[in-house]
């Protein structure tokens, strides 16, 4: 298998994980588990952006390094829309609050709005990966 094909397979895997995490966020929110929904919201974006990084041949061991790469190499250069960068950064911080601050609370409607916005983030990542693979327009 060529390296390019391997990157494509891995990128698709990350995108699927992002979709699964977003679906889990919806289910957690419906079940009243708001902190778990926030966690899944962040991971939906983390996995989707990992697809972009994988396609570019980049890997990071730490979440902070992924966030730094997003801001430095994609937001600052105008590759990804600023509002999607802000969404990722906000979810990064709120996931830490949800996971590590026992008194952190989140509003149902706020999380519901994040889920809607995350759909746009994942769609952007998928389109970017498709363009990088030369498959623009192949997916619906």
Residue 59 lies in a domain: yes
Residue 139 lies in a domain: no
**Enclosing domain of residue 11:** 3-133
Which pLDDT score, from 0 to 100, does residue 39 have?
A: 99
| Model pLDDT for residues 74-97, shown as the tens digit of each residue | 999 999 999 999 999 999 999 999
* Confidence label for 140 from pLDDT (cuts 50, 70 and 90): very low
Which pLDDT score, from 0 to 100, does residue 137 have?
A: 47
Tell me the H-state helices in 31-81.
Answer: 34-55, 63-69
Average pLDDT for 4-24: 96
Q: Read off the CATH number of the domain in which 83 is found.
A: 1.20.120.330
d(CA 68, CA 25): 24
Residue 138 lies in a domain: no
Average pLDDT for 102-112: 97
What total of structural domains would you count in the chain? 1
Does the pLDDT at position 41 exceed 50? yes
Residue 140 lies in a domain: no
Does the pLDDT at position 138 exceed 70? no
Residue 98 lies in a domain: yes
Does the pLDDT at position 33 exceed 50? yes
Nearest to 79 by CA among 110, 56, 102, 112: 56
Whose tokens are 């995490």? That residue is 21
d(CA 35, CA 42): 11
Computed over every residue of the chain, the mean pLDDT equals: 94
* Confidence label for 3 from pLDDT (cuts 50, 70 and 90): confident
Which pLDDT score, from 0 to 100, does residue 135 have?
A: 63
């Amino acid at each position: 298998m060529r390296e390019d094909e391997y990157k494509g397979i891995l990128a698709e895997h990350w995108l699927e994980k992002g979709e699964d995490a977003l679906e889990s966020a919806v289910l957690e929110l419906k079940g009243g588990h708001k902190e778990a929904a926030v966690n899944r919201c962040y991971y939906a974006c983390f996995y989707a952006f990992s697809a972009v990084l994988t396609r570019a041949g980049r890997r990071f061991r730490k979440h902070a390094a992924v966030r730094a790469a997003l801001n430095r190499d994609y937001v600052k250069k105008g590759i990804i829309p600023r509002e999607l960068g802000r969404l990722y950064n906000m979810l990064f911080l709120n996931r830490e609050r949800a996971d590590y601050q026992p008194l952190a609370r989140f509003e149902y409607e706020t999380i519901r709005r994040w889920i809607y916005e995350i759909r746009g983030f994942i769609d952007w990542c998928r389109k970017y990966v498709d363009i990088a693979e030369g498959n623009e327009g192949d997916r619906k």
